[in-house]
Structure 1
């Protein structure tokens, strides 16, 4: 079933008393500004559309408090709001997967990041163990809206306190990429420090 995107949305509204227009607006903004699972707006839209096409959700979403007809109506209104926002803006960043992981791992060290606790840190929660990495490093490879491509690399410890920001040559100056990273991710500037060697 194509319920992953819907489950993510419903997780965000599970404590909302009503799935009203304010919640529709909030979830619509989220698809642009804090996309679920690093998906593009189109992928999130298609996930909602595919879930609505499933006749019987059975028990897949029984954990959330809203009745299925109310949820379906809510999701249709989210799609309508997304349609009204076309053409969609370029997302601040998108996940590129791990196809070029080794290039980034051996690339240029740009900066160090002090991480928050995972639940409070939009970057920390995106760090996953990289398949096939010999040191079981955690990481994420991103394309920023600026066009820069970067990787965050962290130790295997899920509660680690630091990650490094890497790029693959040729690339813009470290200062320019760090500025783009802070701007696109909303990461606190004081938690990003330039790398020295």
Structure 2
């Protein structure tokens, strides 16, 4: 089976708003493919899909509209494959998601732990999605670095959405299974209880390691974010009407590079590229489980949409624009792709079949406002919103 089409679609989707497919973009894409493989693929399967597709000149999928010519896209994909190859030996990944067809492996599974959390919580903590609507219910099969095959299933208990953690084969040391899972994910140990013959045992969290206790100071908020995000970045933290508001501090090196780019573009009479912004985290204070509130709130970019607007056609005094946007939120929202028409005489905007929203109104304002300032109708633009 060839994975050329899904792999290329995923790559092009991730770079569709890049101005240039330069070496920096190549490095980012190659690193992502090696360290965070797509769906159930391995880095080797991704590489082979690119290598064989380029070698046989397989047709480029047309799902993602790209401004580059096919020859340019093939050259870009070739550089991605070459960069992946230069990164060998590839790191051993902490776990791989197994295909949905692996369900029968768990026919004689052994339950080892109860995870008191929702599917959304676990997905956010391991960056992998569960399979839904299967004959096994909602489940996620994983192969750990040790070779252990584990699964998470729900529902399992009556009147509960808790998740049962199982091993596909009898493991002589169930505690090692739990420890390995917790060591490579961000699941709060305080939510995991070992299963014994008499039912759930004690939480596996040691004193002071659970993230379910609300913070009481700015220092605790910062320490928590650094721990769950796996980062040493600093945060500006303030309390506002029952919510901890935590904003990532600017990186001096990134700010310096951003300033150089702005100056370089200004020297050529060009405006700054859209971009910038830092993650903001909001955590409600009146919840008993702080981490679930955090992941329910999610990560919010000050300008969460990357937008591209293109003039598609001009018939008489009617302009048709295409408005596309990709989400910068985590987890990301569905991409936006709408068409609107504007009458140059009456200035009336027809949103056509698009549902009217604050986003769409603000995007259209980016088209109409420059015209009201005496500028010609724009033909293409990109910006953050």
TM-score normalised according to structure 1 size: 0.76
Map of 1:112 onto structure 2: 115
Map of 1:54 onto structure 2: 57
Partners of 1:188 and 1:14 in 2: CA distance: 33
Using the TM superposition, give the Cα deviation of residue 66 of structure 1 relative to its aligned residue in structure 2, in angstroms. Answer: 4.1
Using the TM superposition, give the Cα deviation of residue 123 of structure 1 relative to its aligned residue in structure 2, in angstroms. Answer: 4.7
Partners of 2:18 and 2:183 in 1: CA distance: 30
Map of 1:151 onto structure 2: 151
Q: Secondary structure at the match of 1:56?
A: coil
Partners of 1:17 and 1:192 in 2: CA distance: 44
Using the TM superposition, give the Cα deviation of residue 152 of structure 1 relative to its aligned residue in structure 2, in angstroms. Answer: 1.5
Map of 1:39 onto structure 2: 41
Partners of 2:174 and 2:181 in 1: CA distance: 10
Note the residue ranges of structure 1 that are not aligned, 5 or more in a row.
Answer: none
Partners of 1:122 and 1:45 in 2: CA distance: 27
Aligned CA distance change for structure 1 residues 147 and 172 (closer, same or farther; 3 Å)? farther
Map of 2:124 onto structure 1: 121
Aligned CA distance change for structure 1 residues 144 and 125 (closer, same or farther; 3 Å)? closer
Partners of 1:113 and 1:17 in 2: CA distance: 44
Partners of 2:6 and 2:116 in 1: CA distance: 30
Alignment of 1:77-92 (within 5 A): 77-92=79-94
Using the TM superposition, give the Cα deviation of residue 110 of structure 1 relative to its aligned residue in structure 2, in angstroms. Answer: 2.1
Conserved 8 A contact 2:34-2:43: yes
2:75 maps to 1:73? yes
Conserved 8 A contact 1:40-1:91: no
Deviations 1:24-71 (A, max 9, x none): 2222222232110121111111122233233432xx325233423332
Structure 1 or 2, whichever has the larger Rg, is 2
Q: Which moved further from structure 2: 60-69 or 20-29?
A: 60-69
Map of 2:105 onto structure 1: 100
Conserved 8 A contact 1:115-1:124: no
Q: Secondary structure at the match of 2:18?
A: coil
Partners of 1:163 and 1:153 in 2: CA distance: 6
Using the TM superposition, give the Cα deviation of residue 11 of structure 1 relative to its aligned residue in structure 2, in angstroms. Answer: 2.2
Conserved 8 A contact 1:101-1:141: no
2:190 maps to 1:187? no
Aligned CA distance change for structure 1 residues 130 and 94 (closer, same or farther; 3 Å)? farther
Partners of 2:12 and 2:193 in 1: CA distance: 38
Q: Secondary structure at the match of 1:36?
A: coil
Conserved 8 A contact 1:154-1:163: yes
Matched residue count: 185
Conserved 8 A contact 1:117-1:124: no
Q: Which structure exhibits the higher relative contact order, with contacts defined as CA atoms closer than 8 Å and separated by 6 or more residues?
A: 1
Aligned CA distance change for structure 1 residues 46 and 37 (closer, same or farther; 3 Å)? same
Partners of 2:161 and 2:35 in 1: CA distance: 25
Using the TM superposition, give the Cα deviation of residue 84 of structure 1 relative to its aligned residue in structure 2, in angstroms. Answer: 1.0
Q: Flag the structure with higher strand content.
A: 2
Conserved 8 A contact 1:110-1:167: no
Q: CA RMSD in A?
A: 3.0
TM-score normalised according to structure 2 size: 0.42
Q: Flag the structure with higher helix content.
A: 1
Conserved 8 A contact 2:119-2:130: no
Aligned CA distance change for structure 1 residues 12 and 192 (closer, same or farther; 3 Å)? farther
Q: Secondary structure at the match of 1:100?
A: helix
Deviations 1:135-184 (A, max 9, x none): x502122111132221121349xxx9643321134325343222211333
Aligned CA distance change for structure 1 residues 109 and 164 (closer, same or farther; 3 Å)? same
